[in-house]
Amino acid sequence: MSQCKPWWKEPWPWLLISGPAMAMMGCAVTIWVAMQHADRPIVDGVVRQGLVIRQAATSAGAVTSAAAMAAAMAPATAAATAVATEAATAAATAAATAAATTAATTAAAAVATQHARDAVNSHAVARP
């Protein structure tokens, strides 16, 4: 008979435990880095938190912080306006093209229907 080893002397439990243990250590390191390296202000009174630019805690220079925030957001606002203008122009062009195509198709169908009626009427009259 073979003697069973205790579980801590087997490699498989340690392999299975190592994945979650490394994830927990990585989480702890990430939290520590986030706490040690806070977001720096871009301009007085304006702070960037990820992709969002927000006004920092109110201070004596609240008026200048609003102006600084507007200045910091100006490139993003200009880019968003350009994209919206392009999208609106494309949508208007597509709508105008669709309306013109529909009108031309309707007019062509009306002309074809009238020609068919004229042809039927002319043959009906020509017969004795």
Could you give the CA distance from residue 33 to residue 111 in angstroms, rounded to a whole number?
A: 75
pLDDT given at position 63: 52
User: Nearest Cα to 68, choosing from 53, 82, 81?
Assistant: 53
Q: pLDDT value at position 23? A: 98
Taking the model in full, what pTM does it have? 0.33
Average pLDDT, the chain: 77
pLDDT for the residue numbered 101: 81
> Residue 8 carries which DSSP code?
G
| Residue, of 105 and 67, whose pLDDT is higher | 105
Residue with tokens 């250590």: 25
Report pLDDT digits (tens) over 75-90.
667 666 777 777 778 7
Q: What's the rounded Cα separation, in Å, for the pair 105 and 97?
A: 12
pLDDT band at 41 (very low <50, low <70, confident <90, very high): low
Grade residue 125 by pLDDT with cuts at 50, 70 and 90.
low
Higher-scoring residue by pLDDT: 6, 52? 6
Mean pLDDT of 109-114: 78
Start-end of H helices in the chain: 11-36, 62-126
Q: CA 50 to CA 59: how far, in whole Å?
A: 22
Residue 34 and residue 56: Cα distance in Å, rounded? 18
For residues 17-39, give the mean pLDDT: 93
DSSP state of 1: -
Sign of CA dihedral 50, 52, 58, 63: positive
Q: Nearest-CA neighbor of 70 among 59, 84, 83, 54? A: 54
128 or 112, higher pLDDT: 112
